[in-house]
Structure 1
Amino acid sequence: MREIIFDTETTGLDPATGDRMVEIGCIEMVNRVATGETFHAYYNPEREMPAEAEAVHGLSSTFLADKPLFRDTVAGLLEFIGDSPLVAHNAQFDFGFLNHELSVCGLEAVGADRMIDTLAIARRRHPGAKHSLDALCSRYGVDRSHRVLHGALLDAELLAQVYVELTGGRQIGLQLAVDNTGQETVETRVFRPKTGEYRAPRAHCASAEELARHASFLESLDSPLWTS
């Protein structure tokens, strides 16, 4: 399954009061494995950057002055995300800004049915704990030593690693399947990183000859523990 992990940086907290998105970073994952494909862009917000926002992400009005407007590169963004589920930390915030920018361009909003919120997942898995991205990186041993300021692509890369841990770690081949009786059963599939494909597990059943030798060996034992 293809998923897009993404993060945004903005001029503030609420697009309804005039705040704008100034950066977006997207990471492509297939079956919870990063493919190396990314999308990253800065945007001119057509307004001044508040000092408190710049202190968070380091993006100044001067730096953003020559960057394209969102509408100038939105086609590339939409092509990259396609119709895949979108994963974000506190996804309501990022979806709010993304959809605001789309609405300014007269484009259709991204549906909430595509939203996967890692903050909500973390709250269910670790009630009472801290759920910030920094806290989750510490919990799962994700190296964030290079994260001095917030950055959309960097934060998306960190979140991709956290998301894998939140959803079961690297053991992603163990899935529930439905057998021919309609009951859920555990199905094991082995992932091949080089090809990006799954294969059925190899059989490990003893042959008739091996079973006969085993039975003969058991008969040769003198007073085995399981018969006493």
Structure 2
Amino acid sequence: MFKDVLTDFLEIVKDAHVIAYDAAFDMSFINNELLRASYPSTIFDIASRVSCAMELATQKFGLKRKVKLDAACKRYQIDISNRQIHSALLDAQLCAELYFKLIDDSQVPLSRTPQSNKHRETKPIILPKAFKPKKTNETVQVNFCKNSECANFGVPAKNPVYKNYKTRELKRGLVNDYKLTLAKDGTNQLTCKFCGQSTTLVHNRCFTLEADRVKAI
């Protein structure tokens, strides 16, 4: 327990410059443990200074949002291959290496975080064909935004155009203000760029026949 190592802990951090990656988060836990151990002071009183490597990295990279330890290390090409599972000791070592690079003006970080995994190649998807029932002879295309308050409501999505007509190679992306996305279950969905609402792509012929069947009941 923390109180069992409190004396050793105090000897290490007393009047020291404490550096943590997410200092606000980490110090809150330490202060809570000090309180539970009935110690009268906080880490901010014990240490001479507490610095947050994450705040420093955020400023150094010119970001407006928090940056994760992995991403910050990648900017300085620090090896994180051993960080497969959470390890306090490894995280502390990486934080230390990162901090010294952050305060060294001769160390220039990459302009963006390199991707560890290559994006898989996406293939264009053809929208379900419109259906024209013999009874009405009216074209049915129900793949559109279902948000009645959206400008895209009732406006059918249009298929991507050909990149190369001879090879029938299609460009990625739809023609008008829609995009194709994948649901968590792998289902292809139509997403409106205006309101962000997504709907599962529908087979127009099956939809029409089912609607007729329900009406006949």
Same fold (TM over 0.5): no
The structure richer in strand per residue is 1
* Bin of the TM-score, shorter chain as denominator length: 0.3 to 0.5
Larger RCO (alpha carbons 8 Å, 6+ apart): 1
TM-score (norm 1): 0.42
The structure richer in helix per residue is 1
TM-score (norm 2): 0.44
Q: Max radius of gyration: which structure?
A: 2
